Amino acid sequence: MLKRNKISTSLLVFVQLLFFFCLPKVTSANSVVTAPVLIVYDSLAIGTPYEGNIEALQRILASFSSQVTITSTDKYEAGTLQKFSKVITIHNLEDIPHSSEAFDRDMKSYFGDYMHIGYQLPQLVAQEMGLEVQQHANDTLKITMGQLTEDSIMAKNISYITKFKGTPYGSSTSDNGNVSYPFGVIQGRNAYIPYMVKGNVSELATSFVMKDWLHVNTTGQNYVLLNEIYPFSDLDVLNEVADRLYNAGIPFIASVQPVFSNFQFPAMQRYLETLKHLQSRNGSIVVNAPVVASTISPDIAGLKSQMSAFLDVLAQKEIVPLGISSELYWTYDQHYTDYGLSIFDSGIVYDNRNIRYHTQRNTSSVFQSAMYTIQGKDINKYVNASKIRDSLPMNTAFVYPFPIDRKEMEATLDMLLTSWTTFSDFKNAEHTVRTATNELASHNGHLQINGQVIALNNKMAEVDADHTYVQEVKKSFKTLFSVQNNIFIALILMTLLIFMVFLIIGYRLYRRKFMHQEKSL
């Protein structure tokens, strides 16, 4: 009997393991799974046109949910290359070969996927790809990738691909002879992009090459993102924007600033009622990362508890945040990741503006569902307004800062309502936010709190503005101080009265004396 029970238990364990490994895992509908990537760079190129292109590359990879480890050639450690199946080197220095002996030695025995950006293309890679490159000292070029195009780009010492094997991507057209060359090439496991600069169309064009090199099969979606929304913003304008976008059939994302205290204040209650209204108007709520004023402030030390408290207050109002938006450097910080980003499985990644690391590291955290951002006004520089915009390779949020007045509101709405772009609804994908108390999620287009679907209600509750912001404390000796005050007031009045009497008497005596002297004369 005991032996039979052991056999039954073993079979049960085996069946459970079989189900665990064989059943498909549920992942986000818009998530991608990519291998970790190593970036090796020679210089940050500060003060040159290439400054910032490494950060731009990191942000593109983040939008594909790629975990990135970054190192300079100076700090490269032998054997690191063999730990990765995908490696990118980016060389911003043209005339100085700048790679360590350890890296060159490891590169000779590396057989994973390799991408090279910029100068100093390894000879071995050039041979494998059948590349021949021609350099122009100074040139004006036009870059085209699908519907994206930009003219009159000034470049110094730019390289053009004149011969290659494999698949070409886009085109770089030189004004010198009006000749077109591929913007980039993929051949087998190798990829090459000769020119990438942050802030022009080459940054977006790189994402097309990157997607295929990473073997990403999902299709990118376009989203509208309204950011810079605070409790002290003009909430009436915000409600009107939401109503007009809803009537036009345009879903949007609202990136809202968290509040860590004073939840009972009328201003906060009006803020919550507005967020609830946005949600009912096909708006998806994401929480913006808190502003880091100091890396040693109490707010940063208690980041997780404070973020969780704000999320729980939203849940009480049946408001369901679906992600977090933050600057890129947050994903390279251990503290911000563990106590802030880890609550969310979906993230929107901005450019770095004000870097304040707490515990910096060289490996990024990864969102299951990530999104690239571009300013809404900037995309018009690269796409003809009369054309229907194709989506970029990655999920992309077109950012429109919250309008500060009605004139700016009309300009923003006009830009959106006349756009040919098809925008997606963020909540149609799978997103989850977890605190110790609540699980907030979207599933099949429905918002859920702890597994229960919530109803979207656009009715806003009236908020009483009559509120005592400073609580009155109990006063000791109130009666005594009141009597003393009355006595002091009476004494002061009597003193003033006596002073006036003496003043009048003095005036009369002086006048009588003056008149007596006149008669004597």
Closest CA to 107 of 81, 77, 127: 81
Q: Looking at the predicted structure, is the pLDDT value of residue 21 above 70?
A: no
Q: What is the rounded average pLDDT of the residues 394-399?
A: 95
Q: Where do the domains of the chain lie?
A: 37-213, 222-453
Q: Give the SS3 label for residue 312.
A: helix
Please name the amino acid found at residue 229: I
Q: Which two tokens stand for residue 446?
A: 């429905």
pTM above 0.75, yes or no: yes
- pLDDT (0 to 100) of residue 294: 59
- Percent of the chain, pLDDT > 90? 62
Strand (E) or helix (H) holding 358: none
Q: Looking at the predicted structure, is the pLDDT value of residue 467 above 60?
A: no
d(C-alpha 52, C-alpha 54), whole Å? 5
- pLDDT (0 to 100) of residue 516: 64
Q: Looking at the predicted structure, is the pLDDT value of residue 8 above 70?
A: no
DSSP 78-105: TTSGGG-SEEEEEE--SSS----HHHHH
Strand (E) or helix (H) holding 272: helix 266-280
- pLDDT (0 to 100) of residue 472: 46
Q: Are 281 and 242 in contact (CB under 8 A)?
A: yes
Q: What dotted CATH number matches 37-213? A: 3.40.50
Does 57 or 504 have the greater pLDDT score? 57
Domain 222-453 annotated CATH 3.20.20: yes
d(C-alpha 336, C-alpha 324), whole Å? 12
Q: Looking at the predicted structure, is the pLDDT value of residue 224 above 90?
A: yes
> Which segment of 71-75, 86-90, 180-184, 480-484 scores lowest on mean pLDDT?
480-484
β-strand pairing of 184-187 with 86-91: unpaired
> Which segment of 324-328, 329-333, 496-500 scores lowest on mean pLDDT?
496-500
Please name the amino acid found at residue 201: V
Q: How confident is the model at residue 40 (pLDDT cuts 50, 70, 90)?
A: very high
Please say whether the dihedral angle defined by the alpha carbons of residues 216, 381, 45 and 397, taken in this order, is positive or negative.
negative
Q: How confident is the model at residue 520 (pLDDT cuts 50, 70, 90)?
A: low
CA distance readout (Å), 390 to 311, 363, 420: 35, 32, 10
CA distance readout (Å), 17 to 7, 21, 145, 309, 453: 15, 6, 47, 38, 32
